[in-house]
Chains A and B, each alone.
Chain A
Amino acid sequence: MPAFDKRTRDFEAANTQVLGISTDSPFSHDNWAKSVGISHYPLLSDMHRTVAKDYGIYSPDMNINSRATFIIDKMGKVRFAEKYGKGVLPEPDKILAEVKKIG
C-alpha cells in the first residue's frame, strides 16, 4: 500500500514495523512494489494461506485473504483488528493513532 509506504517513518518513530501480506509470490510482490512505489516496508508471501487461516481472514471462495489490519504489541499480543469491505482501504492516520494509543 503506497499510502503506508509514504508514512513508514511516522510508524518507525512510534516504534512500529509495518508489514504487508498477501497470497502472491515474492516475484509478483517485486513487480507490484516497483510499479506502485512500495520500498520502505516488506511485502510477505503467504502462498500456503496458513497465515490467512491463522488470523481468521481466509476467503475460501476466492482462495485469498480478505483485506484486514492487525496491530500486534511489543509482547506479541493482538491489540487491534479491523476488516474491510470491498473497496475500503486502511487509513494510515487512523492506524497510526491506534498504534500511539498502545504506546
Chain B
Amino acid sequence: MSTTTETKTLNVGDPAPEFTLKTIGLKEVSLKDYRGKNVVLLFYPLDWTPG
C-alpha cells in the first residue's frame, strides 16, 4: 500500500471518476447530473490565473 501523494493517471477509455462538488452559492453539482450529455471538464490552476 503506497502512501505517496502521487496521483494515478486517467486515460482515454477509462470510466470518468464520479464527483460531487460545491459551486457558487454552495449548490452541489455531480458529474452524474449530466449523464446523457457530453461533459467538458476544464481544470484550471487557480482563480485569477489566465483563462
Residues of chain A at the chain B interface (Cβ within 8 Å): 1-4, 11, 14-24, 26, 28-33, 42-46, 50-60, 62, 64-81, 87, 89-90, 95, 99, 102
Max chain A C-beta neighbours (<10 A), residue from B6, B19, B36, B38: B38
**Inter-subunit contact A65/B45 (CB<8 Å):** yes
Question: Assuming A2-B51, A19-B39, A19-B42, what are 14 further A-B pairs, CB within 8 angstroms?
Answer: A17-B37, A17-B40, A19-B29, A22-B47, A26-B23, A26-B24, A57-B7, A67-B43, A70-B41, A72-B16, A76-B35, A79-B12, A79-B38, A81-B10
**B5 interface residue (CB < 8 Å to A):** yes
Asked if B26 CB lies within 8 Å of chain A CBs, one says yes
A17 in contact with B34 (CB, 8 Å) = yes
A-B interface, 10 closest residue pairs, ranked by CB to CB distance from nearest: A32-B47, A54-B17, A44-B21, A56-B9, A16-B38, A72-B16, A89-B51, A72-B39, A42-B23, A70-B41
A51 and B51 in contact (CB under 8 A), knowing A78-B10, A80-B12? no
Residues of A within 8 Å of B46, CB to CB, are 22-24, 64
Given contacts A1-B44, A21-B43, A73-B38, contact A90 B51 (CB under 8 A): yes
Q: A69 near B25 (CB under 8 angstroms)?
A: no
Is chain A's interface secondary structure helix, strand, loop, or mixed overall? mixed
